[in-house]
Chains A and B, each alone.
Chain A
Amino acid sequence: MDLNYITGILTLAGINLMAVLGLSLLTGFTGMFSFGHAGFMAIGGYTSAMMTVKFGLPFIPALLIGGLVAALVSSVIGKLTLNLKGDYFCIATLGFGEAIRLILDNVQYFGGARGWPGIPHHTNLLNVVIINIVAIFILANIVRSKHGRNMIAVREEELASQIVGINVFRYKLISLMISAAYAGIAGGLMAHYMTFLQPKMFSLTKSTELTIIVIFGGLGSISGSVLGALVLTSLPEILRAFSNWRLVIYGLAVVIIMITRPSGLMGGYELTPSSMKTLYTRMKNKNKGLPNQMEGGKTI
């Protein structure tokens, strides 16, 4: 395997991971499904590319502005749609994602459907890894904070959490904005990796792919999202040896894993030093016939 090729796949996995982490907060921890996150990626991507290309800003500030703009847009969308329950919110995001793509198709300032070439190449494996570590650190702290627990409460039982005094709408909005910011930064990373943006890159398929990764990795698990992004981004490339059957096998693999592990790869568990220790002790004691908790998974 060539190093350059592997670096490329890992960079792409890292970019996907960034978007997935945000979506993980929204879907995994707050319990709202979104099929429009590619739209936020597009907003972040185009904004940060505009910052570097047209205004000559350095890479990192451009990324942050991209994330910020995506979060701002999401707050507007959120205010309008977050009162919708369950499936309705999901459909609203779907419409939003497609709308963003079609708007970008028509904005000739950004090259329209023909795309926008000539964006400087800034994204490499090193900065993707660093940004992801920072992102995971922030996300883990959010999830374990009071706010994170409130979000989980909203996920588990909306009505009950409302009764105990959690502002459900507010926490949903915060969750959506943070996840949009993550997606926006991911879009910015993508723009400066591909050096080319085309609205086609942010289609419904991309949104679905992100949601699949979150579910595949395990809802409510950050380490699951990391694992899911790595596995599902590299799988199509690993399967290249099967040529035309590649995508069929890819689909089959996802289906089989979801059947055997309905709660995803990690199933709500985290891979932290302490959990690894517990796992190790349990492995040592497994001859004693203790029920294996990892087996059952967790109901979401």
Chain B
Amino acid sequence: MFKKTLALLLVSLMIVTLALSGCSKPATETGSQAGGADASAGDVIKVGWMGSLTGDQAVWGQCELDTIKMLFEEINAKGGVLGGKKLEVIGYDTKGDPQEAVNVAKRLTGQDKVVAILGPNASGSAIPIAPVLEEAKVPDIATVATNPKVTVLDGKVKPYNFRVCFIDPYQGAVAAGYGYDVLGFRKAAILYDVADDYSQGLTEFFEEFFTTKGGTIVAKEAFKFGDVDFRPQLSKIKDANPEVLFLPVFFKEAALIANQARELGITAPLMGGDGLPSEQLFTMAKDAVQGTYIVNHVDYDDPEVQDLKSRYKNKYGKELELNGYLAHDAVVLLVDAIERAGSADSVKITEALETADVKGVTGRIKIGKDTHNPEGKEAAIVKIEGDKYVFQQKYSAKLD
């Protein structure tokens, strides 16, 4: 009898859950608490967000969502957009899983009826949502999805996909160009994650541009996501005696690799892409990463950047991660498009996005009509000195 009661209880719990989720408003955050409550449905413009709130990239996803919430609150406090309409963000977790991303895109466009979507940060999630966006005619502005195929496929631009970051070939070209031309490196070694899309892309393009310039890749070693011991690969790299070790990986692996490389006596400086900058890097491997060069989206010393950083820190008591800056620029781009479109109609916003030319904290964002990428955006080269990312110079590379 006990079992039966429990089973009954369980069933009723599930029904309640179903009913709750069916009727209740999804977990949303209205930009301004007071304003959001006052505003009637017609005065609220809903914007979707998707990204990882769970899983190994949750730090960045949470930061993106928090940044967007903060900016929407600020915009709403200043009177909103389109002469008084409030912005509201509806954010859902994708776990970094393409399948979940498709579900979220369907939910945001179908059920929540958002006018535009911000994010996701992962290319693997940004690519499969394209058909959903096309069907619903809702634009998406990806934050850090750097795979070229997010916006352009087989030479054709995807009508509803945009992004605010530069792309992998560009990042690879900048790293190779800066390393070869400015720092004078001729022999490079690469240690990359074979099971990661970002890592594979960056490796390919770095190798391509570095060798065309005349440099040689003396060692190219791979590891698999989840590995924590890199000594076998590093020993081989040490034997090859490179002048620079290129790490197209994320900060967690980079920190472990840096520590083990120094242990093994590799003194060559490290170099990495936009997966590296994180406050976590210093807590994990402060001494080992000194002198590391990073191709970054943002120059941390820029006054505007400082302003955003302190606003975020005041509100959440945490350091702003890299994704936050790009989320900021995605918001700037979207708000500009809404204002220029003169309405909260998603098709009109898409048209406005195609001709957008705004200034964000990561640089000028001029959307190319045929690529939907920010054209000619300069990368910021930063160098780790102490516990700071010291800005070196803006650097732009030409693709072929």
Q: Kindly report which residue of chain A lies nearest to residue B6, judged by CB atoms.
A: A260
Please, which residues of chain B bring their CB within 8 A of the CB of A256?
10
A73 at the interface (CB under 8 A from B): no
- In the complex the two chains form, is B110's CB within 8 Å of A3's CB? yes
- In the complex the two chains form, is B124's CB within 8 Å of A200's CB? yes
B111 at the interface (CB under 8 A from A): yes
- In the complex the two chains form, is A244's CB within 8 Å of B93's CB? yes
Please judge, given known A-B contacts A5-B110, A113-B194, A201-B99, whether A244 and B24 are in contact too, CB under 8 Å. Answer: no
Stretch at the interface among A63-71, A161-169, A190-198: A190-198
Stretch at the interface among B12-20, B318-326, B349-357, B378-386: B12-20
Q: Kindly report which residue of chain B lies nearest to residue A105, judged by CB atoms.
A: B195
Band of interface residues on A? 35 or more
- In the complex the two chains form, is B197's CB within 8 Å of A114's CB? yes
A-B contact count (CB 8 A): 126
For B25-64 the 0/1 string (1 means CB < 8 A from A) is: 0110000000000000000000000000110000000000
Instruction: Select which of A113, A194, A195, A236 is within 8 A of B200 by beta carbon.
Output: A113
Tell me the bound Cα distance from A161 to B6 in angstroms.
38
* Residue among B10, B54, B131, B195 with the highest chain A CB neighbour number at 10 A: B195
B373 at the interface (CB under 8 A from A): no
Q: Kindly report which residue of chain B lies nearest to residue A4, judged by CB atoms.
A: B110
- In the complex the two chains form, is B18's CB within 8 Å of A238's CB? yes
Could you tell me the dominant secondary structure of chain B's interface residues?
helix
- In the complex the two chains form, is A117's CB within 8 Å of B127's CB? yes
- In the complex the two chains form, is A2's CB within 8 Å of B195's CB? no
Stretch at the interface among B80-88, B147-155, B272-280, B304-312: B147-155
**A: which residues have CB within 8 A of B?**
1-5, 8-9, 12, 101-102, 105-106, 112-115, 117-118, 121, 190, 193-196, 198-201, 236-244, 246-247, 253, 256-257, 260-261, 295
Extra inter-chain contacts (11) besides given A5-B111, A118-B149, CB under 8 Å: A2-B107, A5-B103, A105-B194, A105-B195, A117-B128, A194-B99, A194-B102, A196-B98, A241-B20, A244-B54, A260-B6
**B: which residues have CB within 8 A of A?**
3-4, 6-7, 10, 14, 17-18, 20-22, 24, 26-27, 53-54, 91-93, 95, 97-100, 102-103, 106-107, 109-111, 123-124, 127-128, 130-131, 135-136, 147, 149, 153-154, 194-197, 199-201, 224
19 contacts between A and B (CB under 8 A): A4-B106, A8-B102, A8-B103, A101-B195, A102-B224, A105-B195, A113-B194, A195-B128, A195-B131, A196-B127, A200-B97, A201-B99, A236-B100, A241-B24, A242-B27, A244-B53, A260-B10, A295-B3, A295-B4
Give 3 nearest A-B pairs by CB, closest first: A2-B110, A196-B128, A114-B197
